[in-house]
């Protein structure tokens, strides 16, 4: 009777496939609802694997009740009350695939929750690592029943952990950009927490010379600490990055910072117009910071050195776009000449306006940059005669134009140059960024 029931109905031929697969899974040894249902994970959405497993197991029991001659290990039929089918009594055993790992989820998840409660976060991603044995168990099952509708145990376990935790602490799961990532290692019975960075956007001005933008390790000891750096490991005691980051690190309890500037000015150059940056705080504990208050504090502590404005919360994407930004910049250079000139000579410099400058990598940076020749345009240039041996130059250049070399010629490596046009040696003694477009 059952045979014809299946054969006469097209839809039920597929149901037969499910019963057939399930009977292979349940033929020998106990398989829990999670592991049974997981082999049908790609069928029907809106169900957990445990629910799918329960439904499939129930369908198998219906088949047995109607006299179907499938072979099922009775250990898989516990709790079902049959009217017709005779089932042997068996003892409860562990699931042969997952070794009952899903029963441990609440306990492990509670442990994680206990350890992440000090962090401030809105989004989390939870992953699971499991033993080779469980993966092998699952692969043995796949060899038997195929992988047409299945999902991996690792996927289900990660999701179960994630769902338990997010429901319990009322936070959102975020796969793409989680603020907190937890990986639970079921083999080691331990877990790792990684805390996503906090990004703060702003603009800074540099009001004092001699401060590099970012941390700069001591050139003698390369940051290890030595007599010449007073065991700080630093070449410069202060950096724009550290001056801005210190109060933010205090506030957020982060472990370290990274500074992403839209370009940088020379150590001895001022920046009076404001340069965009994103400050990245690594492993913050607190994320909700009052940026207005922080801005005031940074500016108070760093009076006459560095100031910030327009602080706003930011993200990794902004860091990338800042790095790609190519801005034209305007500088004012104070220039000393090694021989006197007349004011009228300054007209010779006008030819630089709109000119493409050929610049071989400056000698001062050849140790860290490839020695190449590049072309950058001078967009505007004007000069002010101070006295026969001192002039001031205001120059706007494309991003990447080396200003000091444009003026000095860098021993002929920059062509043309102010020095070559005037026919005297010219050295920049002070350089300030006054506009960034």
Asked if 218 interacts with Zn ion (CB under 5 A), we say yes
Q: Which of the stretches 90-98, 120-128, 253-261, 410-418 binds Zn ion when contact is defined by CB under 5 A?
A: 90-98
Nearest-CA neighbor of 136 among 162, 102, 99, 183?
99
Q: Is 60 in the site for Zn ion (CB under 5 A)?
A: no
DSSP 54: H
Residues classed as catalytic: 266
CA distance 270 to 422: 26
How many DSSP H helices and E strands does the chain contain?
A: 12, 14
Which of 19, 21, 32, 105 lies at the binding interface for Zn ion (CB under 5 A)?
32
Q: How far is the CB of 185 from Zn ion (least distance, A)?
A: 19
- From 25, 150, 211, 229, residue interacting with Zn ion (rule: CB under 5 A): 229
Backbone torsions φ then ψ of 151, nearest 5 degrees: -135, 160
Which range of residues in 30-38, 53-61, 247-255, 369-377 is near Zn ion by CB under 5 A? 30-38
Beta strands in 292-413 (DSSP E): 306-314, 329-337, 356-360, 373-387, 390-397
d(CA 74, CA 79): 11
Minimum CB distance to Zn ion, residue 237 (Å): 12
Using the rule CB under 5 A, is 226 a contact of Zn ion?
yes
Give me the least distance between CB of 145 and Zn ion, in Å please: 14
Rounded to whole angstroms, how far apart are CA atoms 216 and 236? Answer: 7
Which among 15-23, 81-89, 98-106, 388-396 is the span making contact with Zn ion, rule CB under 5 A?
A: 98-106
Segment 74-83 long-range contacts (CB within 8 Å, at least 24 positions apart): 75/29, 75/30, 76/26, 76/30, 76/31
> How far, in Å, CA of 323 to CA of 263, rounded?
7
The answer to whether 35 contacts Zn ion (rule: CB under 5 A) is yes
- Closest to Zn ion by CB, 57 vs 413, is 57
> Binding to Zn ion by residue 98, rule CB under 5 A?
yes
Tell which one of 27, 221, 267, 434 touches Zn ion (CB under 5 A). Answer: 221
List the one residue from 77, 95, 278, 337 that touches Zn ion (CB under 5 A): 95
Q: Which two tokens stand for residue 203?
A: 């603009």
Instruction: Say how far apart CA 374 and CA 418 lie, in whole Å.
Output: 18
Please, what is the minimum distance in Å from the beta carbon of residue 56 to Zn ion? 13
Nearer residue to Zn ion within complex by CB, 35 or 306: 35
Residues touching Zn ion, count (CB under 5 A): 11
By CB under 5 A, name the binding residues for Zn ion: 32, 34-35, 95, 97-98, 218, 220-221, 226, 229
């Amino acid at each position: 009777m059952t045979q014809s029931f299946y054969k006469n109905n097209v839809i039920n031929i597929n149901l037969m496939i499910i019963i057939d697969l399930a009977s292979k899974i349940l033929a020998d040894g106990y398989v829990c609802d999670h592991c049974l249902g997981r082999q049908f994970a790609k069928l029907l959405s809106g169900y957990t694997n445990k629910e799918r497993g329960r439904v499939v197991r129930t369908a198998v029991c219906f088949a047995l009740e109607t006299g179907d001659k499938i072979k099922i290990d009775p250990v898989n039929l516990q709790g079902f009350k049959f009217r017709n089918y005779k089932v042997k009594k068996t003892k409860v055993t562990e699931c042969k695939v997952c070794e009952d790992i899903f029963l441990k989820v609440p306990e492990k998840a509670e442990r994680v929750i206990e350890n992440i409660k000090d962090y401030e976060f809105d989004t989390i991603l939870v992953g699971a690592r499991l033993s080779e044995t469980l993966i092998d168990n699952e692969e043995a099952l796949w060899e038997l029943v195929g992988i047409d509708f299945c999902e991996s145990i690792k996927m289900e376990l990660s999701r179960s952990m994630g769902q338990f935790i997010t429901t319990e602490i009322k936070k959102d799961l975020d796969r793409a950009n989680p603020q907190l990532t937890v990986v639970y290692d079921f083999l080691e019975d331990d877990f790792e927490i990684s805390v996503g960075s906090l990004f703060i956007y702003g603009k800074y001005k540099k009001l004092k010379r001699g401060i590099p933008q970012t941390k700069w390790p001591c050139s003698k000891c390369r940051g290890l600490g030595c007599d010449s750096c007073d065991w700080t490991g630093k070449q410069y005691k202060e950096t724009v990055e550290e001056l801005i980051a210190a109060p933010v690190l205090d506030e957020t309890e982060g472990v370290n910072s990274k500074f992403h500037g839209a370009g940088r000015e020379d150590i001895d150059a001022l920046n009076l117009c404001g340069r965009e940056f994103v400050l990245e705080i690594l492993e913050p504990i607190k994320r909700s910071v009052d940026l207005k208050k922080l801005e005031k504090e940074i500016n108070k502590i760093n009076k006459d050195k560095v100031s910030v404005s327009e602080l706003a919360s930011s993200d990794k994407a902004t860091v990338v776009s800042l790095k790609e930004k190519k801005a034209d910049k305007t500088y004012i250079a104070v220039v000393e000449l090694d021989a006197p000139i007349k004011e009228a000579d300054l007209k010779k410099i006008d030819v630089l306006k709109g000119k493409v400058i050929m610049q071989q990598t400056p000698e001062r940076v050849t140790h860290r940059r490839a020695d190449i020749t590049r072309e950058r345009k001078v967009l505007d240039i004007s000069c002010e005669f101070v006295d026969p041996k001192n002039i001031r130059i205001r120059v706007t250049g494309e991003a990447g134009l080396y200003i000091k070399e444009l003026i000095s010629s860098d021993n002929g490596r920059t062509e043309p140059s102010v020095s070559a046009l005037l026919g005297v040696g010219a050295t920049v003694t002070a350089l300030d960024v006054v506009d960034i477009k």
